[in-house]
Amino acid sequence: MTLTGPARLSEVLDRVVAKLPAAERLAAQLAEANRQFEAAKLAGEIDERRKRLWESRGRRYAGCTLENFQAVTPDQRVVVERLRAYRGTLAEKVEAGVGLVLTGPSGTGKDHLLAGLFDAAISAGLTLQWTSGPKLCIRFRDRIGNDEDERRTIRQYTDPDVLVISDPMPMFGALTNYQAQVLYEIGDTRANAMRPTWVTINAKNRQEADGRLGPQIVRRLSQDAISLACNWEPYKGAQTR
């Protein structure tokens, strides 16, 4: 385009100004399309995390929520309300390293209660790993057989934003020295990194938990954690999976 003087320049400027609203609308549309794309991408990632969690853990607890836990006794209602409060500020609690320890006899619904927090954690974009005492024992036994690097195996449990352990005890007998060392290392590393651990322990109180796991391990798993006692009769709620 050839400009021949102030009049021609003024005409060009007028045309540019006239087009600005359309350009602004286009920019807004592109920004909205990008926002929707990122939201869809995040939703896909969240769905994939949820799918991987239930595939690795099994779907027994996939339908469990705090809302369908049948809290009929005062103690049950208190625990559910404490967990709802935790869920309400879950991202902040995890950032601050605040974990959860649920103690009580086997069958009282402790895993159901923790499973009621999973969707909130995954929806917040947090990484979550769920394991159990027997699974941990098998995992580290296999590591020895495969000559796998111990530190690399431990990082599978120390790196996630939230680690959930369903009763850290092995299926039979007491913890071996090696199992106790590994469990302490996991708890200690997570505590020092301020990454919370959610754990259920089949014990009536702290004294019994210390006797089963050892006070050092219980202390590490309980560091900066909210401890809740689930000392009621075996849970017979309609939702057990």
Per-residue confidence (pLDDT) for residue 157, from 0 to 100: 94
Q: What is the distance between the alpha carbons of residues 157 and 19, in angstroms, rounded to a whole number?
A: 57
Lowest mean pLDDT among 1-15, 39-53, 137-151: 1-15
Percent of the chain with pLDDT over 70: 77
* Long-range contacts of residues 152-156, Cβ cutoff 8 Å, at least 24 apart: 154/182, 154/185, 154/186, 154/189, 156/129
Q: What is the architecture of the domain spanning 61-229?
A: 3-Layer(aba) Sandwich (3.40)
- Percent of the chain with pLDDT strictly greater than 90: 48
Beta-carbon contacts of 214 under 8 Å, excluding residues fewer than 6 positions away, are 175, 180, 184
pLDDT digits (tens, 9 = 90+) for 37-75: 555 555 677 778 777 777 777 778 888 899 999 999 999
Q: What is the CA radius of gyration of the chain?
A: 26
Residue-wise pLDDT for 161-210, tens only, equals 999 999 998 777 788 898 899 999 999 999 999 999 999 999 988 899 99
Q: What is the pTM of this model?
A: 0.77
Position with higher pLDDT, 177 vs 140: 177
